[in-house]
Amino acid sequence: MRGAEHLAGILAFLGLAVGLALAAVASAVALGARKSRLAGRIAQVASGGIVLYGALIVLVSALSPGRSLGLDEEKFSCQLDCDLAYSVSGVSTVKVIDGSGDPCRSRGTFYIVAVRVRSDAARVRMKPWTSPAQVVAADGRRFTISAAGQRALDTMRGEVVPLDQEVEPGASYVKELVFDIPDDVQRPQLLIADDDCLTRLVIGNENSLFHRKTTFRLS
């Protein structure tokens, strides 16, 4: 979701928040004036707005298409804006990572995924990785970054990019992520998604309820 769609979702959320705040004030004034029937009607309208908004979130999410991206195809992260893009620029698999004479052996297979983080922002630095990247298997199992494998790779590479490094306006960098994936996993996909609680309430946002995800193919 980018541009106009994201802006529409944000405006709808802000409209709901402002409407509920006004309804709360109006209801309090009505109760203070001992007009309980009017206060009840205001509460009913506010409740109806919440139900309608929730239904729209579920409907838009249910109609959302899931996407599976290949190498160098970008996925944009939309929080307050849509200026941060992720893409997978390379994938390799190894059984052992020899960091510094102390080999780190995988339990299955190490997937070393090179993720490019790029900013479209004009002036501000962007902070990526609001939620840890995961590998999702075809059967629904999820795997987070291998701490041991990541340390071994970072040691072997020498100079590495910190996971939480901000992106300069208009710039990009590549971060290699290490996952230890069992050998029985089929069709592994990389998932990078926001974990901002407010985005769960924005219509059309990938993080909203039941919304299908955009992932990156690793096989």
C-alpha distance from residue 82 to each of 31, 56, 123, 193 (Å): 43, 21, 14, 13
**Per-residue pLDDT tens over the stretch 21-38:** 999 999 999 999 989 999
Q: Which of 41-50, 169-178, 192-201 has the lowest mean pLDDT?
A: 192-201
Question: Is the pLDDT reported for residue 100 higher than 80?
Answer: no
The pLDDT of 56-61, averaged and rounded, is 90
Structure tokens at 32: 């203070």
Q: Write down the pLDDT at residue 23.
A: 94
**Per-residue pLDDT tens over the stretch 102-155:** 789 999 999 999 999 998 877 778 878 767 899 999 999 999 999 999 989 998
Question: What do you get for the CA distance between the two ends of the chain, in Å?
Answer: 25
Question: Is the pLDDT reported for residue 1 higher than 70?
Answer: no
Question: Is the pLDDT reported for residue 184 higher than 80?
Answer: yes
